[in-house]
Amino acid sequence: MSAQPDHAPVTPYAPAPGAPAELLAQLRADRRAAQWVPAFEREWSAALEESRRTFSLAGLYEVVRDWQGRLAHAPAVDAFVASGYDDSEFIDMAELRGRRR
């Protein structure tokens, strides 16, 4: 017999126990800390409240995974912005949908 209910979703990703603290330290060291740290703390607090209500760690894991991804991809985004690539010719899908009606 398992202590885990049969209907509980299986979480494919479980960060290391110290991952949130390490992630917060990395965010504080980043040049975007003024924007990113408060945003992370808001998302973490919301996920923590959800976790208390649902008895699930999935939301907390998702916050860690999302922010790890943001940090990992930040250099590529910076390089794209610094390249001066003109993306003003993008297709606005909302505008395109409005034209079809």
Most confident by average pLDDT, 6-15, 50-59, 73-82, 90-99: 50-59
Query: Tokens in use for 71?
Result: 């940090």
Q: Tell me how many degrees the CA angle 55-64-25 measures, rounded to the nearest 5.
A: 125
Band the pLDDT of 81: cuts 50, 70, 90: confident
Report, as an integer, the average pLDDT of 19-28.
95
Q: Name the residue type at position 58.
A: A
Q: pTM value?
A: 0.70
pLDDT at 70 over 80: yes
Measured CA to CA in angstroms, residue 40 lies from 6, 7, 89 at distances of 32, 30, 32
